[in-house]
Amino acid sequence: MNSQQTSNKVLALYNRLAGYPLGKKIFSMTVARMAPYFGTIRPRITELRPNLCHCLIKKRHGVHNHIKTVHVIAICNGLEMAMGVMAEASIPKHLRWIPKGMSLDYTAKAGSDILCVAEVTQEQWVPGDMQVAVTAYDTQGVVVVKGHIKLWISEKPKQGQ
């Protein structure tokens, strides 16, 4: 285990809770409370490790569109949650991040539960623009949405400045 895994509070909380029967649900609800809009999709973080996060959205009435598939904005919300949790669990301590934009392609109807995935490489964590690859899959593994969320990565201010 590297020092990033042991020193990151988000990753440590996930790892501590994930082994319990309702641990991932409790972790996901905690994250959704920090950013309340995420609660609208009832997300479930199903996998989290440095530079990777999986967020599950269950297909239910509250996330349907007019044709009873999962609304693309709900999927965007899930992708943003996956990206944000991944970023918080992965970013080196001396850096900070803020989203700058999102570019997505809608590639298929989302007629089932949706798995939202955000992934980067460790080498991407440098100041400047950073493209986070995001992909949403249906239960058959079909890509329903894919693209990038652009982050601005910068150095944290030095203490006392």
pTM (global) more than 0.85: yes
On whether the CB atoms of residues 78 and 112 are closer than 8 A, the answer is no
pLDDT for 23: 94
Query: Considering only CA atoms, which of 41, 48, 39, 59 is closest in space to residue 83?
Result: 48
Q: How confident is residue 4, by pLDDT bands cut at 50, 70 and 90?
A: very low
Amino acid identity at 24: K
* Distance (Å, whole) CA 49 – CA 56: 15
In the chain, the domains with their CATH numbers are: 3-155 (3.10.129.10)
pLDDT for the residue numbered 14: 95
Q: Which amino acid is at 71?
A: H
Cα of first residue to Cα of last residue in the chain, in angstroms, is 33
Structure confidence at residue 78 as a pLDDT band (50, 70, 90): very high
